[in-house]
Amino acid sequence: MLNLVLVFDLDDTLYPERQFALSGFAAAGLWAQTSLGLTGLAADMTRLLDQGHLGQLFQLALAARMPDHRPEHLAGLLQAYRSHVPSLMLFEDAAWALSHFGGQLRLGLITDGTHSVQRRKVEALGVARHFREIVYTDALGGRAFAKPHQQSFQMMEAALGGDADRFVYVGDNPAKDFVAPNARGWVTVMVDRPGAQKIHAGAKPAEGGRPQHTIASLRELTAVLKL
């Protein structure tokens, strides 16, 4: 069936998000060493990440090394992280999927996160050419439009719908990825690779957010989509 639109999430779906985090920690650590004379911050941040700290990670790391730090120090650390040029690689099965399905189907991408950061990830991965439409939810009006907000999915339907009779969304985070597409009648697929170090590992499904299918590799999409 070729009248099908296949839409992907980005982080931990197409590439390992931890890879970006470690790349950013290295850049932030270098800034801290150069600007503040602090050493070991990248290792501290990696340890905090692996302990499950996300929202306050930078503040915790900086406070441990520099208890009297000022707001501009934290701002500089975050800026170094967000503005660095990352070195990223697609998951092997993701590279295969984009190449394989790109020749058959209309592909789209919906991604949350700071707009400039997400654009930089897309550029580093070199994947823009595979997608007919990319929606950066942050560009729609900030975090309020992040998944599970429905606007990005509505936009994808408008941009790629046409004569499509099926929309499929592939993501990794059941806490937010599948609520909106489930509500809109899409087919939802969660990729859960064995042994992968996901940033949001163990996320609990939101109400109405359980994926309809769970696969261990994007190569299994062929069977799910019956192509």
What is the mean pLDDT of the segment spanning 145-163? 95
How much of the chain, in percent, has pLDDT values that exceed 90? 89
Task: Check residue 227 and give its pLDDT.
Answer: 66
Decide: 10 and 109 in contact? Cβ < 8 Å: yes
How much of the chain, in percent, has pLDDT values that exceed 70? 99
Instruction: Name residue 36's amino acid.
Output: L
Task: Check residue 2 and give its pLDDT.
Answer: 62
As given in the structure block, the two tokens for residue 51 are 């302990």
199 falls in which pLDDT band (50, 70, 90)?
confident
Q: pTM higher than 0.95, yes or no?
A: no
Decide: 156 and 110 in contact? Cβ < 8 Å: yes
How far is 152 from 174, CA to CA, in rounded Å? 17
Beta-ladder partners of 136 = 111
The domain segmentation of the chain, as residue ranges, is: 4-16+91-225, 18-83
Decide: 135 and 108 in contact? Cβ < 8 Å: yes
How far is 62 from 211, CA to CA, in rounded Å? 38
Strands 4-8 and 166-171: parallel
4-16+91-225 homologous superfamily: HAD superfamily/HAD-like (3.40.50.1000)
Residues 6 or more apart in contact with residue 138 via CB below 8 angstroms: 112, 113, 114, 115, 118, 145, 146
pLDDT in tens, 8-30: 999 999 999 999 999 999 999 99
SS3 assignment, position 29:
helix
